[in-house]
């Protein structure tokens, strides 16, 4: 909290610093508070009001400066909202987290930074005070002078709802400059280092949509105002991806999208986590088509979900059961052990049935039109292989390694992994090394 009050008329009681309200009335008894008061501090806590009355029109300057009306006041606690200096020079920042913080006052080309501001629960704190840096000049006089030249420009605006009401506590994030919170009127201002480049500004709040805008450069000491946002009421949608309709069949890594019912435009997307759940957040109220994005050969039940999103912490949730969902087979290929990799390439084949021949099946028309699906991949130069493979089934795993080549002949050896068949889990990686 900071204060800068005009002394009460016809009273010699000093309340705080003086200011010029830009009302240049010539009479002391005019209707406006337009007069300068010259204060002389003779000692700590003692003010000299002799010959105090001066008018702003005359050449005698006021000793205490003028009110920094409209200056922004912010604290780096990531909880409080921006405040603004009032006509009287006072300001109040609310909802500051307990701890030690830095307060910044900025307007135009001038600024002041107050560090080591200690906030105690349930108490108001005047700034500056005896422990801040800089400290107050006289005990009990929390007066801030904007004497430093700023190194910033400013971006400001409001965040409102669809009814043009200010949204308090909305988060405004400016790329490269940090995050601020709107005040009770939905206003914000951000200090931004000058740049000729476009600056992205994003506004958001829980239960509302997220909106963004771009500011075409920021100039030193200049405020780019009117960067306003309208956030519409929004909700979220939760779902579960499984291979068997049960929690045991959870499938991570599946992309899910929500499309607008009328335009089919994608409005939100998410990927199922390790627990199989996905969350579509920040969706404006309305009706949507929700569906997973699958690999060729995969299918899901139901095909799509028609969902109405309303303004609640979270709209219910539903389940997609995916048949033939893919997993991954991966490992090392080597001779003697997996620490001696084969770097010239090994053919790795996974088959739902045993392969009894010395060499892998020829990929001919019969194989292509048959009911048995083979999966194959070649290892890379580091001796590793990764094979996407349909999960929920068991496979035999083989490797073929050409270890000698001459002008007329070559030698290729087959490796059959013992313990087969191996079960492949949908959405998971199964590791099997192939070692001769």
Cis amide linkage into residue 302, ω under 30° from 0 = yes
Domain 153-230 shares a fold with domain 326-435: yes
Question: In terms of C-beta density within 10 A (0-12 exposed, 13-18 middle, 19 or more buried), how is residue 5 classed?
Answer: middle
* Closest C-alpha among 153, 144, 132 to residue 66: 144
pLDDT of residue 433: 92
Q: How many residues does the chain have?
A: 436
pLDDT of residue 202: 93
pLDDT of residue 12: 35
Provide the token pair at 234.
Answer: 């929004």
Backbone phi, psi, residue 160, to 5°: -125, 165
Distance CA 426, CA 183 (A): 48
* Predicted TM-score (pTM) above 0.85: no
DSSP letter (8 states) at residue 193 = -
pLDDT of residue 77: 82
> In angstroms, what is the C-alpha Rg of the chain?
35
Which residues are within 8 A (CB) of 293 and not within 5 positions of it... i.e. 6 or more apart?
A: 254, 255, 256, 257
Find how far residue 352's CA is from the centre of its chain: 45
Could you give the percent of the chain with pLDDT greater than 70? 76
pLDDT of residue 244: 75
How distant, in Å, are the alpha carbons of 97, 107, 156, 158, 418 from that of 81? 11, 17, 13, 12, 65
Provide the token pair at 37.
Answer: 């008061």
Class of domain 153-230: mainly beta
* Closest C-alpha among 320, 304, 213, 207 to residue 264: 304
Provide the token pair at 312.
Answer: 């609640």
pLDDT of residue 263: 64
- Under CATH, what is the fold of the domain 234-323? Immunoglobulin-like (2.60.40)
Backbone phi, psi, residue 365, to 5°: -60, -35
Whether 330 and 350 have beta carbons less than 8 Å apart is answered as no
Q: Over 343-384, what HEC string results? A: CCCCEEEEECCCCCCCCCCCCCHHHHHCCCCCEEEECCCCCE
| Other beta carbons within 10 Å of 402 | 14
Tell me the H-state helices in 36-148. Answer: none
Distance CA 348, CA 206 (A): 49
Phi/psi class of residue 192: alpha, beta or left (left: φ > 0; alpha: ψ in -120 to 50)?
A: beta
pLDDT of residue 391: 79
pLDDT of residue 330: 92
How is the chain split into domains, by residue range? Answer: 1-150, 153-230, 234-323, 326-435
pLDDT of residue 60: 36
pLDDT digits (tens, 9 = 90+) for 362-417: 878 777 777 788 888 999 989 999 988 877 788 999 999 887 655 555 677 888 88
Distance CA 434, CA 378 (A): 12
pLDDT of residue 196: 92
Distance CA 283, CA 293 (A): 19
pLDDT of residue 41: 41
Residues of the chain with pLDDT under 50: 1-64, 311-315
Right CATH for 326-435 from 3.40.30, 2.40.160, 3.40.50, 2.60.40: 2.60.40
């Amino acid at each position: 909290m900071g204060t800068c009050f005009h002394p009460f008329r016809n009273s010699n009681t000093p309340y705080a610093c003086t200011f010029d309200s830009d009302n240049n009335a010539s009479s002391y008894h005019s209707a406006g508070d337009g007069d300068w008061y010259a204060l002389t501090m003779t000692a700590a806590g003692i003010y000299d009001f002799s010959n105090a009355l001066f008018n702003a029109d005359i050449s005698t300057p006021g000793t205490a400066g003028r009110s920094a009306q409209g200056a922004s006041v912010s604290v780096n606690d990531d909880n409080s909202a921006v405040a603004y200096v009032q006509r009287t020079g006072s300001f109040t920042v609310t909802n500051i987290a307990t701890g030690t913080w830095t307060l910044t006052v900025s307007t135009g080309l001038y600024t002041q930074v107050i560090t080591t501001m200690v906030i105690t629960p349930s108490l108001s704190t005047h700034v500056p005070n005896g422990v801040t840096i800089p400290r107050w000049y006289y005990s009990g006089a929390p007066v801030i002078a904007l004497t430093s030249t700023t190194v910033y420009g400013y971006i400001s605006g409001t965040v409102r709802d669809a009814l043009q009401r200010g949204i308090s506590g909305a988060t405004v994030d400016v790329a490269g400059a940090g995050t601020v919170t709107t005040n009770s009127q939905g206003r914000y201002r951000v200090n931004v280092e000058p740049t000729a480049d476009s600056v992205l500004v994003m506004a958001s709040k829980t239960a509302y949509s997220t909106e963004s805008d771009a500011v075409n450069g920021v100039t030193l000491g200049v405020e780019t105002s009117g960067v306003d946002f309208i956030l519409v009421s929004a909700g979220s949608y939760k779902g579960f991806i499984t291979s068997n309709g049960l929690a045991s069949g959870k499938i991570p890594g599946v992309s899910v999208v929500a499309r607008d019912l009328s335009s089919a435009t994608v409005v939100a997307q998410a990927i199922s986590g390790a627990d199989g759940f996905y969350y579509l957040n920040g969706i404006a109220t309305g009706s949507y088509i929700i569906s997973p994005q699958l690999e060729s050969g995969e299918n899901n039940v139901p095909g799509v979900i028609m969902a109405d999103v309303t303004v609640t912490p979270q709209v219910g949730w539903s389940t997609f059961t995916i048949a033939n969902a893919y997993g991954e087979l991966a490992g090392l290929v080597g001779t003697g052990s997996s620490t001696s990799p084969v770097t010239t390439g090994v053919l790795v084949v996974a088959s739902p049935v045993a392969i009894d021949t010395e060499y892998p099946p020829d990929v001919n028309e019969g194989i292509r039109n048959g009911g048995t699906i083979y999966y194959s991949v070649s290892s890379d130069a580091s001796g590793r292989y990764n094979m996407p493979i349909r999960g929920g089934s068991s496979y035999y795993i083989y490797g073929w390694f050409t270890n000698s080549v001459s002008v007329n002949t070559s030698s290729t050896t087959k490796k059959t992994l013992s313990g087969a068949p191996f079960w492949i889990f949908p959405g998971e990686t199964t590791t099997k090394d192939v070692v001769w």
